[in-house]
Structure 1
């Protein structure tokens, strides 16, 4: 089971990649305890692997998916675990709705090598949010870069809707690769 809280949720740029893996949605879920979720550079969301006892912490909302081992390999590649951008860690979530079932899952957290610097750069406790929304996702996207990437993909035969999603994904990955290569000097 994988808990997603950002761009892999339904309606967000990376969701088509999760949907294509055939991973069924278990349901809406939230962390069982308050957690630190911040929006980093270029609107990239990061769940931080730090205890959250601050008053600014929230239960983090997201979605729970049952993923196959193959889909997990693809998600690890997408999230840059091999680059040290994110790391997959255990998290306890509560499935929303009638059951209220408590489930042990995994989620992608900011890599510990830069998480403290990221938390401080984002504004610390004041910047923690409980839900990553479309407003967060669109905040820092560079419209010129989006148009250029989409045009490049469409010119090579990719349909327009997929090209739009992929151009947003590419910008997010440029950001996460930059974060990793900067050694946390954000």
Structure 2
């Protein structure tokens, strides 16, 4: 009987995206396997804010507030999913929930599946927080995160997470 590795889809919108400070973690073999599939945007609006002295991007679990958030969909194995859960502080800091996404551009391999067209809807896990300061919902909302963006709030690497 062949060995089968379960793969899940994960939507990243912050420091784990291409060109961002923690992107390299997606491809450290010790963390598991990840494959970029597509750029996408949440179907629902959410507040994506930058907060704390470390300028961390937080997606607040407040559906229908904020903006549609742009990010990337990755296919990850169970080892990477566990790493991401630990990295994101599930369940105390973040929760992992299934979210509907609008595909913007599909780049990944489909291995016999039909390649989703731009504009089609798919699902992936997303990390959002329900644990935040009372003033966070009033912070500026972003459609897309970039540590070097014009907001001037560059991500600060922390001990143990750099």
TM bucket normalised to smaller: 0.7 to 0.9
**Residues 61, 141 of structure 1: alpha-carbon distance in 2 compared, 3 angstrom cutoff:** closer
Q: How many residues align?
A: 138
Whether 1:76 aligns to 2:89 is: no
SS at match of 1:60: strand
> 2:126: which partner in 1?
107
Whether 1:3 aligns to 2:11 is: yes
Note the 1:23-102 alignment, pairs <5 A.
23-41=34-52, 42-53=54-65, 57-82=66-91, 84-97=92-105, 98-102=117-121
Q: CA-to-partner distance for each residue in 1:90-128, whole Å, 9 max, x for gaps? A: 111111035322111111111x2x3362xx2x461x511
Q: Aligned partners of 2:68 and 2:58: how far apart in 1?
A: 14
Q: Normalising by structure 1, what TM-score?
A: 0.66
Kindly state the Cα deviation for residue 58 of structure 1 after the two structures are TM-superposed: 1.3
Tell me, which stretches of 5 or more residues in structure 2 are unaligned?
1-8, 106-116
Q: Is the 8 A contact 1:30 1:95 kept in 2?
A: yes
Q: CA-to-partner distance for each residue in 1:128-156, whole Å, 9 max, x for gaps? A: 111111225972556xxxxxxxxxxxxxx
Q: Aligned partners of 1:19 and 1:100: how far apart in 2?
A: 28
**Residues 76, 171 of structure 1: alpha-carbon distance in 2 compared, 3 angstrom cutoff:** same
> RMSD value over aligned CA atoms?
2.4
Query: Which protein has the bigger strand share?
Result: 2
Query: Which protein has the bigger helix share?
Result: 1
Q: Normalising by structure 2, what TM-score?
A: 0.74
Kindly state the Cα deviation for residue 50 of structure 1 after the two structures are TM-superposed: 1.3
